[in-house]
Amino acid sequence: MKKLIHPVTITMLVVTFILLLPFLLPQRAVPEFSDEALRQAALSRDMSPVPTNYEALLKVADNPENPMSREKIALGKELFFDIRLSKDESISCASCHKLEEGGDDNLPTAIGFHGRANPFHLNSPTVLNAALAQAQFWDGRAKDVEEQAGAPVQAPFEMNMTPDEVEKRLNSDPQYVTKFKALFPEDRITFENIRKAIGAYERTLLTRGAYDRFLEGDNDAISSQAKRGMTLFITKGCKGCHTGMSVGGQSMQKFPLRNYLSDFVGMIFEPDLKIKESPFPFANKGGFLGRDGTLKFRVPILRNITKTAPYFHNGSVEKLEEAVRIMSKYQIGNEFTPEQIDDVVAFLKTLEGEIVKY
């Protein structure tokens, strides 16, 4: 009588084959670019440098619904740092968006009024270069920085104010009243115009660094290792989502895009084991599942990414190297080697920059 192979044995063989499959398939060689070819590969994919002067800034960052002016920008800057926009006058926009530290707060979850944490364990996205993005917040619910500026002021776990309270507080300040009257047609300060002023200021928070100088023709601006990382970034698919002048923020994307049997392999040998709780390759702190629970998130801006740890929406990943590994595996389906990760991180370091003094 023919002896049958035990079902568990078959399962183990299938699992082993699937786990080894990425290593058995031939890997496409990474192309080598000259400096000029690499630069053109980036520019042709809309990875352009940040402008150096105010006139050029207006061409890329101005909002026809809220035209920028130097006076409006100055007023917005004043409001951005004004603690009177919070209930107990203890925090300002700048409290969670520290401009000298990457434009965020470097906390796993945003902390606001009276130490309240974001109920979904969401951390603060950077405000630097955010004006170049197509949407704001992790779920992309705000169309621009003007709309975004009003939300933290009203959130009970952030600044905990109402529009009426903000208007009453600022209308009691004669200097603010004079400045607003010079810029807006209304006879009194309105919450909408407060948002517009802050938005105008945030549109100037663009940064430039070595990456921009390379794009403009300086071959010595970045290292050979960074150029290898940039080549990987462009040819392996990272630039498909992290694109544009801001190197991100241009679309909503599902995360994770891929799942692997190896993530669930324990269920095969432990039938009573439940599917892992988290849909992410890290802990599901806060239970946030993106826009409308679809696992769609606004693609993060990568400029100054080296300064905005911890990573991902709930701050579950401390190291940039691990974030790169996760993205290579779960988004582009080609997990980078340790050497490739180091090269990509070297490239990401070139995205550090200083705020341009427009």
Q: Which of 153, 172, 202 lies at the terminal end of a domain, its last residue?
A: 202
Domain assignment present for 76: yes
Domain assignment present for 7: no
Q: Are residues 220 and 338 in the same domain?
A: yes
Are 193 and 181 spatial neighbours (Cβ–Cβ below 8 Å)?
Answer: no
Predicted confidence (pLDDT) per residue in 139-158, tens digit: 999 999 999 999 999 999 99
- What torsion do the CA atoms of 251, 254, 255, 261 make, to the nearest 10 degrees? -150
Q: Are residues 63 and 197 in the same domain?
A: yes
Predicted confidence (pLDDT) per residue in 32-89, tens digit: 899 999 999 999 999 999 999 999 999 999 999 999 999 999 999 999 999 999 999 9
Q: Are residues 81 and 45 in the same domain?
A: no
Type of residue found at 289: L
Q: Are residues 137 and 112 in the same domain?
A: yes
Q: Are residues 165 and 228 in the same domain?
A: no
Domain assignment present for 259: yes
Could you give the percent of the chain with pLDDT greater than 70? Answer: 88
Q: Are residues 226 and 343 in the same domain?
A: yes
Q: Which of 184, 202, 220 lies at the terminal end of a domain, its last residue?
A: 202
How far CA 224 is from CA of 35, 38, 218, 243, in Å, comes to 10, 12, 13, 22
The mean pLDDT value for 271-282 works out to 71
Q: Are residues 72 and 187 in the same domain?
A: yes
Predicted confidence (pLDDT) per residue in 261-275, tens digit: 877 665 555 555 444
The CA distance from 118 to 255, in Å, is 21
Predicted confidence (pLDDT) per residue in 204-255, tens digit: 999 999 999 999 999 999 999 999 999 999 999 999 999 999 999 999 999 9
Q: Are residues 60 and 161 in the same domain?
A: yes
pTM of the model: 0.89
Q: Which of 171, 186, 202 lies at the terminal end of a domain, its last residue?
A: 202
The CA distance from 78 to 71, in Å, is 11
Q: Are residues 139 and 251 in the same domain?
A: no
CATH number (domain holding residue 170): 1.10.760.10
Q: Are residues 46 and 111 in the same domain?
A: no
The CA distance from 76 to 194, in Å, is 8
> What residues are annotated to the active site?
158
Domain of residue 304, residue span: 30-50+207-355
> Total structural domains in the chain?
2
Please provide the size of the chain in residues: 358
